[in-house]
Amino acid sequence: MSLEDLKGELDRISWLEQVDQEISERPNINSKPSQDIVNKQLSRLASLLNYTLVGELEWEDGYLVWSMRLALLMDPTYAKQRARLYVGSPDPHVRYWVQSILSET
């Protein structure tokens, strides 16, 4: 899988996750959450990746959190090593995922 293919897959998953979030915020809409689908797709994607590709993704603008989420599915120890590099990030979204990864047991 190429970096561009990976980014395309993540963009598709991101869209699904965003739509699910927006629907869940609306009252009186009965929708089955697709977070399970998102997690399954991320797990499937992580099974196809290697550390090199995830490392390349980490440096792509807008894909840092995705690289951390995928790393966690690949190897929690590796994910924690990578997450520690971003503990002081000015981005609250990045800090949220760093904290989430570091608190995994």
Could you tell me the pTM of the whole model? 0.84
Residue 45: CB atoms within 10 A of its CB come to 19
**Do 1 and 48 touch, CB atoms closer than 8 A?**
yes
pLDDT in tens, 19-77: 877 777 777 666 555 677 888 999 999 999 999 999 999 999 999 999 999 999 999 99
Q: Which two tokens stand for residue 70?
A: 């995928």
CA distance 36 to 17: 10
pLDDT category of residue 16 using cuts at 50, 70 and 90: confident
Please give the pLDDT value at position 36.
78
Please give the pLDDT value at position 28.
66
Please give the pLDDT value at position 34.
67
pLDDT in tens, 73-101: 999 999 999 999 999 999 999 999 999 99
